[in-house]
Structure 1
């Protein structure tokens, strides 16, 4: 059932209210977790249509009935932005879907985005009573969040959070990714004049250039950003803070506070022989060119090579996005090369599942040693080292160690390296008062997100060095709260 179809279902059917009131927890415990409808793998691996189709109205109601009304709802503690999860789910159970969406927007500026890409299984759902006490599948909180947000959008009755009267103070935001958007939302709600500066020509940061449309459609991101515009946030694109506009320019324009949420767009490489060959590129470049610069169009100014034998090095969500993109661009063999086992992969289980369904080959416990090219300088093959798991390292995962003498050559014509990212050093180098770590991340007070320069706050990947959308949003909200407190004192 499509989204508009469930809007036609009556919202006050008497059977629903009767079921809600009479269902006991012992009956709720017998309900199975609802499965998300998906497109057929053979079809979806050849197009960019969204893979997950969303819950139908009936499926959402059925899943909402699994909520146990916990006295101590630990699911909230697992949410980095503090969504009142029981409240929005109980609104769905009562058939008040628009009220559920309003509840989400009390604390989350991007509910339709988070319902699609957040790792709920490691956050709110991991704290669900079903998981913690019963060792059963948790309530599908992410599915229900997406449902409520999509329902509201399709209804045409999109609500906006309440905005306080202007206090006349101006604050600036560097970057329109999830950290910057979350910060901007809370500050504009508190009455500040907020301007977001974005270096690229499109808004959304990693939501636009880093996540393919088959996982997060662009129109979803645009609707969420449009709500911020309507709330009063101003956006300036094609503006590189530190180049186009300086720290002194911001002072002269009377900005009283600055939040840096510029992400981590500087790719890491392995520094092995052959990484300079044609056809070896970073995952950031690959996804940015495809997602933001229409590189799949042969007439594009920056067309991307469509490899037939593509290897993606890494095991995170970004690696899964890249390898699944390669399949959609016609790769006959698309493989993940990861030095640990599948159990250690940081990617979401759903993304691994989808990749396998779409024909991706997983070469776990392998690590590239070198690449070799043909006479034209294009990558032709890679030498892989077989690995085994040793003792746990500082991350708690077992350290991969080489199996001596066990190597093999594999043919490839494109290699996409996804082994981490670092912040761009431009802003730390251009702004006074900022301390950076050896990894290039900006040092902040973890409780306040405040830097060494008292009027400058930072959060998201420029502080964490690469994390999830929802953690970045959590940083943005924390920074907004503490900057608001700071500016009130200064005033």
Structure 2
């Protein structure tokens, strides 16, 4: 989907009208363009490295009000803001930033909530550097972009205390009489976004979550030091305040079938079942004790409270020498988690070079600061065990980069005779995952080569009438914000489908 396609119908004109309001003009006059251009980007305060490697507290500490307003003043309030088209959920970025500059924080959060119900999460985990910030017009002027993600996080965090004082701005909705019931399967970012948008449209929305806590990958996949659970819970509370019901410990396809839900009166469905089926290397020794998928390892730590040792006696091995295979954000999460669990050496092994690593720049930076080692152009070809069946080491092979593969990245080619052995107590395989098969294989859905649900990306409609899908169930491993964009598109399409069916 192109940037222009992300703008909603009529949004370009609404952006223009917002920009021409008197208060916006007054703000533009207060600070010269030259001053905005020459003001350096304000750095995010961080927990010191020597402290954070020994705890699971959040690394990024967040802007103060003073820092946030100073950063907001860097925004040029462009006539043609590329940042909005760069956002998968089309947030009115210039308006919320100018509201921060004006000190109108309630209104800033309300503006964000028009299209994004999870701003505190997005401000933390979305790859703004390749989306909205990449499209910032300051970049075209040779400057650092406005810290859009930091500002989004700031305004959401600043008003989190509002929960104890009353409803957050933009919340408190309810189903409209005569509107249909819609079922959302899965409470990850795509499902929560679809649920929030449908609730705003007046539908009776129920989210069915297989686990005991809502949040999907946000709950089990992302460590506390990147996404505190109090923040996740606050965002989920906002979704509930819109009138969304969330049922946990409910496995659609086992607790009840989709047909059972139809019989219960649900008229449309969004499948946000995620990608919880881990990929493995399929090499000898991969079944040894001490070899984990990243999915299992992070779930034990995050969802089963392994990070709160010794308060929770969750079986997470404390290893001295940890190898994590992979180069994405999940690999970064796993290796930084291992370090906090006491590893003396935590090493990333990645089959391509650093330039091809898909992980966020910030995550790589934080990992390097914390002493994580990186070993590029290597891949395990065998895991080695002791007489008790426990992992003791790996045999790796060096690689060279060849011609581009289907992804457009250079294909790693093995170098003959380059094998070498390393000692390892724990290995975490973080090379991707496939969609959860339980529900989608029970339905006559059209599936892709890797078991992903095929959809029309303009509507997120599947091959079955009234059933829509998005996020990792479709993409196999997407970012949080892309999943949210899918949920938002699906909600609009479900609304159109039901209105048309209603006549």
The bucket for the TM-score relative to the shorter chain is over 0.9
- 1:402-417 equivalences under 5 Å are 402-417=414-429
CA drift of 1:301 comes to 6.8
User: Could you list the per-position Cα deviations for residues 358-398 of structure 1 after superposition, in whole angstroms to 9, with x for gaps in the alignment?
Assistant: 11111111111111101111110101111122222221212
User: Is the 1:389–1:398 contact (alpha carbons within 8 Å) kept by the matching residues of 2?
Assistant: yes
2:5 aligned residue: none
Q: Match of 1:208?
A: 219
Q: Deviations over 1:448-476 (max 9, x none)?
A: 11111111100000000001000000000
> Aligned residue for 2:283?
272
SS at match of 1:351: helix
Alpha-carbon distance in 2 for matches of 1:90, 1:167: 39
Query: Structure 1 residue aligned with 2:35, among 5, 27, 30?
Result: 27
CA distance in 2, matches of 1:124, 1:134: 16
Distance across 1 between alignment mates of 2:161 and 2:144:
29
- How much has 1:299 moved relative to structure 2? 7.8
1:337 and 2:349 aligned? yes
- Does 2:58 match 1:46? no
Q: Report the CA distance between 1:168 and its aligned residue.
A: 3.2
Shift of 1:20: 6.1
Match of 1:84 in 2: 92
**What are the Cα deviations for residues 323-349 of structure 1, in whole angstroms up to 9, with x where unaligned?**
000000000000100011111100000
Task: Show CA shifts across 1:35-84 (max 9, x none).
Answer: 00000111101101000000111111111111111111011000000100
CA gap of 1:105–1:368, structure 2 versus 1, over 3 A, is: same
The 5 Å alignment of 1:305-316 reads 305-316=317-328
Match of 1:160 in 2: 170
Residue aligning to 1:253? 264
- Correspondence for 1:390 among 394, 398, 402: 402
Aligned-partner SS, 2:464: coil
TM-score under structure 1 length normalisation: 0.94
Which residues of structure 2 form unaligned runs of 5+? 1-24
Give secondary structure in 2 for the equivalent of 1:294: coil
Q: What is the CA RMSD across the aligned residues, in angstroms? A: 1.5
Q: Is 1:65 matched with 2:73? A: yes
TM-score (norm 2): 0.92
Residue 429 of structure 1 corresponds to 441
Q: Which consecutive unaligned segments of at least 5 residues does structure 1 have?
A: 1-16
In the alignment, the residues of structure 2 paired with residue 175 and residue 57 of structure 1 have an alpha-carbon distance, to the nearest angstrom, of 35
Distance in 2 between residues matched to 1:235 and 1:252, nearest whole Å: 19
Give the conservation status (yes or no) of the 8 Å contact 2:181–2:203. yes
Counterpart of 2:294 in structure 1 is 283
- Contact residue 171 and residue 238 of structure 2 kept, 8 A: no
1:5-404 alignment, distance < 5 Å: 21-131=29-139, 133-155=140-162, 156=165, 158-161=168-171, 163=173, 165-296=176-307, 297=309, 302-404=314-416
Correspondence list, 1:446-465, <5 A: 446-465=457-476
Distance 2:96 2:499 in 1: 32
